[in-house]
Amino acid sequence: MADAPKRTPLYDLHVELGGKMVDFAGWEMPVQYPLGIMGEHKHCRAKAALFDVSHMGQVILKGENVGAKLEALCPQAFSTLKEGKARYGFFTNENGGIMDDLIVSNAGDHFFVVVNASMRHQDIPHMARHLDGIEVIEIFDRALIAVQGPKAEDVVGNLCPGVRDLKFMETIIGAINGVECRISRLGYTGEDGYEISIPQDGAVEVARAFLADENCEPAGLGARDSLRLEAGLCLYGNDIDNETSPIEASLIWAIQKRRREEGGFPGADRIQREIAEGTSRKLVGIRPEGRAPARQGVEVQSEDGKAIGVVTSGGFGPTAGGPVAMGYISTDSTEPGTRVNLMIRGKAQPAQIVSLPFVQQNYKR
């Protein structure tokens, strides 16, 4: 018999708020609330939304030269990550594929790492095995809450004024309603916002305090997915995986110059070769011209019927005002404006290649 799904510290609050609960990566999570996916999405873009992301893996790394040791697993420059700063990164495998993506923060006397819920069973043993002399501590007694949207600064700042001074990808310890939290200015929606790591026994009280603000509504996994898709942000398992390289995925911006040149991380041979010579396929934005969304796995063809790629994420973009998708396309067909066909239920649906993101990212830099 399969294990029963786990519950986050906010489970009872989700039920009270009318959350429709589903099993996601072994956790009972709200896919939506009575406002609905479209309403939650639009509220996040206009004001602020609260997401429970406690299913994500939270990890503390303690020891000497944590940043330098992480560089043996990731192509990011973590040894030069300053205290109070966070950085997006990913583990690569020996073939140059992406094992998972993550956020790494320098918290001074330790590093704080957040990994995907579906990959925590892989990532944490991976770090424990390879980070010699580093204590790898998985955190089980903290919730993780995201408050996202143009009003997020007010929603969080009214309870913890210090967060107003943070810039994108900065992190501090701050008290909210007397509860000490790690507050980082980042997120997965394309909007300004914060992710807040909080002791589980104070999580419901803090979530209620945020939701008491008229600008803040709860939002579920459905809106989280449509928001990140419009923002052109990759979802692990869809848009990036063990086979895709960071260069194919248009993530070269996340590999700092020193690391591109020096290498010294798993799969560096392939990644450096692709930086120099290019790749045969690239992750791009796709705008279907009808109203039918193109889902993961839909074949992309050239106008003359040749298979040139596949959709990896797709759905309706409420802010974009129509269906949006991302997928891997043969490099010679990735020019924005290129017309393609999507094979949906055996019929060719016209679409065109567009630049990502579909909506402007609104981070506070």
Evaluate whether 268 touches 72 at the Cβ level (below 8 Å).
no
Q: How far apart are CA 151 and CA 161, in angstroms?
A: 14
What element of type H or E holds 328? strand 322-330
What is the chain's length? 365
Return the SS3 of 289: coil
For residue 187, what are the CA distances in angstroms to 50, 82, 228, 233, 261? 11, 19, 9, 10, 29
- For residue 348, the number of C-alpha atoms closer than 13 Å in the C-beta half-sphere is 12
Pairing of β 27-32 and β 6-7: parallel
Q: Give which of 9, 10, 5, 56 is closest to 27, Cα–Cα.
A: 5
Does 40 carry a binding-site annotation? no
Q: Which amino acid does the sequence have at 206?
A: V
Q: Give which of 16, 17, 11, 8 is closest to 216, Cα–Cα.
A: 17
Evaluate whether 244 touches 97 at the Cβ level (below 8 Å).
yes
Q: How far apart are CA 71 and CA 75, in angstroms?
A: 6
Annotated binding site: 195
Annotated binding site for substrate: 195
